[in-house]
Amino acid sequence: MKLKKIVHIPLVLMMILLFSTIESGAQLCTGSLGDPVVNIDFGNGSGSGSSYSPPGYTYTSSSCPNDGSYTITSFSSGCFGNAWHTVSADHTGGGAYMLVNASYTPADFFLTTVTGLCPNTTYQFSAWIMNVLISPTGIRPNVTFTMETPSGTVLRQLNTGDIIVTATAEWKEYGFFFTTTSGTTDVVLRITNNAPGGNGNDLALDDITFRPCGPVITADIQGNNNKVELCVKEQDDYQLNAFVSPGFVNPVYQWQVSKDSGTTWIDIAGGNTLSYYRTPTSQGKFWYRLTVAENGNAGIPSCRVSSNNLEINVHPSPDVNAGPDRIVITGTRDTLHAIASGESITLNWLPSSYLSDPAVVNPLFTAGHDTYYQLTAVSFFGCKASDWVWVHVVDDVFVPTGFTPNNDGKNDYWTIPYLDPDWNATVTLYNRGGQLIYQVKGAPVNWDGKYKGVEQPMGVYVYIIHIPDGSPDRKGTMTLIR
């Protein structure tokens, strides 16, 4: 709908243009809708009876109700010698529906009062109906929807005409719009079956909804489509803009945000103009929309109509840990123990020299020379993160030949500085009498000169270093000096 075509159209005609016919006499909103304020979906079928059926109809627990009866069910099959369709799911596929076998005399089969509506607000009413009869010669359902004030004044009425027989079970939507007056907050919904029962006229009813309806509201992200994917560490500011077609008398604007994909919406403080300036946020999925209501109703969310949703998805950076620094012996082959995760990440190690595969998280490497290796992960959305690991290459294990545990803060412990814990080496130390006095496996060597808390005498001690890589054990002596 172009603005230049409707600027001078009277308000009444303008509201008529918001709606279009989808069935015989059925008119649904083609403007913008608000969230459902009423949604009668009949639950999941575990309950008994319904508070919506007027006197004259009887509830039954059978999934094949007789004439003048109804049930609430999520599955019906084989009714009356397979005269009805098998109805294996409700309209949305996740719950129950009301199944009605018409009474012999045409009458109301559904009646309820809807409370808490907003005054001076246009609503779309809709419901889904299925003709469950298979035979084309049976009586067809013919239904009238009536919206009344509590005093009985008819606000709007719609007749479906005869609902045709279909080859397979098929739900059809019917509905219309109506406008509450300044004093109207409650309405009565009456659904009448105009045809007799006895030989057909059997139907299923589901998903009765009321939603505010108003002029068309369109929103966009300036310079972008309606959806943006970005990285948490590389965010820009974005301006959200909306256009509201004529039809409101005194509109009030309110931008909203949802962090759960539209399940709940929160008003944005200060977001009360046609544009909203969004600044960087934490990671997450953020949906935005503009809601509009007439002044006086704006404080009630159920009175508002809303624009299309805008999506700004802020993606996290990958988690990357290149692993602990390594000490390796020249010419040996080992593995880099990195960890990386994220949204469909790709990996790259630099430099790629001495690596078996620079695109895997734990490549094999051959010890050539000292190297800083950088691991970079890039997610599907282009978010990056990097980490580094230092690989120190030594000719062999260096073992100090002595130490002085005299608590002067210098050389108080016997250590082996280039013994990488990843080697899982076993270091064993014996005194001159052959007694085992110290041993560690896969851990740093850090002997304080004591055995079971007792200081050991100065002298020569024998060590054996066993590395389970197939190389010969390394043996030697070191001196404890006091």
Question: What are the structure tokens assigned to 445, written together?
Answer: 């060597």
Say whether both 280 and 425 belong to one domain. no
CATH code for the domain in which residue 110 is found:
2.60.120.260
Domain end (from 394, 419, 448): 394
CA 142 to chain centre: 41
Say whether both 138 and 264 belong to one domain. no
408 within domain boundaries: yes
Say whether both 231 and 210 belong to one domain. no
3-class DSSP state of 5? helix
13 within domain boundaries: no
Cβ of 186: how many Cβ atoms within 10 Å? 12
Calpha distance 176→162 (Å, rounded): 17
Say whether both 164 and 60 belong to one domain. yes
3 within domain boundaries: no
Say whether both 228 and 247 belong to one domain. yes
**Residue at 434: amino acid letter:** G
3-class DSSP state of 7? coil
By CB atoms closer than 10 A (0-12, 13-18, 19+), residue 189 is buried
Torsional class of 65: left (φ above 0), alpha (ψ -120 to 50), beta (otherwise): beta
pLDDT at 182: 80
7 within domain boundaries: no
CATH code for the domain in which residue 470 is found:
2.60.40
Calpha distance 307→254 (Å, rounded): 11
Say whether both 56 and 175 belong to one domain. yes
Torsional class of 114: left (φ above 0), alpha (ψ -120 to 50), beta (otherwise): beta
3-class DSSP state of 14? helix
Domain end (from 182, 214, 246): 214
Q: Are 294 and 300 in contact (CB under 8 A)?
A: no
Calpha distance 369→328 (Å, rounded): 10
Element (H, E) at 11: helix 11-16
pLDDT at 11: 36
- Digitized pLDDT (tens) for each residue of the chain, 482 residues in all: 222 223 333 333 334 334 433 344 457 788 899 999 999 999 876 656 667 767 778 899 999 999 999 999 999 999 999 999 999 999 998 899 999 999 988 989 999 999 989 888 899 999 999 999 999 999 999 999 999 999 899 999 999 999 999 999 999 999 998 988 887 889 999 999 998 888 889 999 999 999 999 999 999 999 888 999 999 999 999 999 999 999 888 999 999 999 999 999 999 999 999 999 999 999 999 999 999 998 888 888 888 999 999 999 999 999 999 999 988 888 888 899 999 999 999 999 999 989 999 999 999 999 889 999 999 999 999 999 999 999 999 988 899 999 999 999 999 999 998 888 888 999 999 999 999 999 999 999 999 999 999 999 999 999 999 999 888 999 999 999 98
Say whether both 305 and 356 belong to one domain. no
Would you mind telling me the total number of residues written for the chain in this entry?
Answer: 482
Q: Residues 6 or more apart from 61 whose CB is under 8 A from it?
A: 48, 71
3-class DSSP state of 16? helix
3-class DSSP state of 69? strand
Say whether both 144 and 258 belong to one domain. no
Q: Are 375 and 387 in contact (CB under 8 A)?
A: yes
107 within domain boundaries: yes
DSSP for residue 355 = B
Say whether both 362 and 445 belong to one domain. no
Biggest alpha carbon–alpha carbon distance for the chain: 114
Say whether both 27 and 129 belong to one domain. yes
Q: Are 401 and 368 in contact (CB under 8 A)?
A: no
Name the pTM for this structure: 0.73
Cβ of 350: how many Cβ atoms within 10 Å? 14
Least Cα distance to 192 among 178, 205, 180 occurs for 205
3-class DSSP state of 215? coil
221 within domain boundaries: yes
Q: Phi and psi (nearest 5°) for 3?
A: -60, -40
Say whether both 223 and 194 belong to one domain. no
11 within domain boundaries: no
Give the full edge-to-edge strand order of the sheet including 426-430.
402-403, 474-480, 459-466, 426-430, 436-441
**Residue at 419: amino acid letter:** L
Q: Are 32 and 305 in contact (CB under 8 A)?
A: yes
Cβ of 39: how many Cβ atoms within 10 Å? 11
Q: Residues 6 or more apart from 290 whose CB is under 8 A from it?
A: 217, 219, 240, 242, 244, 253, 254, 255, 256, 274, 276, 306, 307
Dihedral angle of Cα 26, 31, 35, 40, to the nearest 10 degrees: 0
229 within domain boundaries: yes
Domain end (from 394, 419, 444): 394
Q: Total structural domains in the chain? A: 4
CA 265 to chain centre: 14
pLDDT at 197: 84
Calpha distance 100→47 (Å, rounded): 16
Q: Are 335 and 365 in contact (CB under 8 A)?
A: yes
CA angle 35, 41, 47 (to 5 degrees): 140
Residue 427 domain boundaries: 402-480
Say whether both 365 and 344 belong to one domain. yes
CATH code for the domain in which residue 261 is found:
2.60.40.10
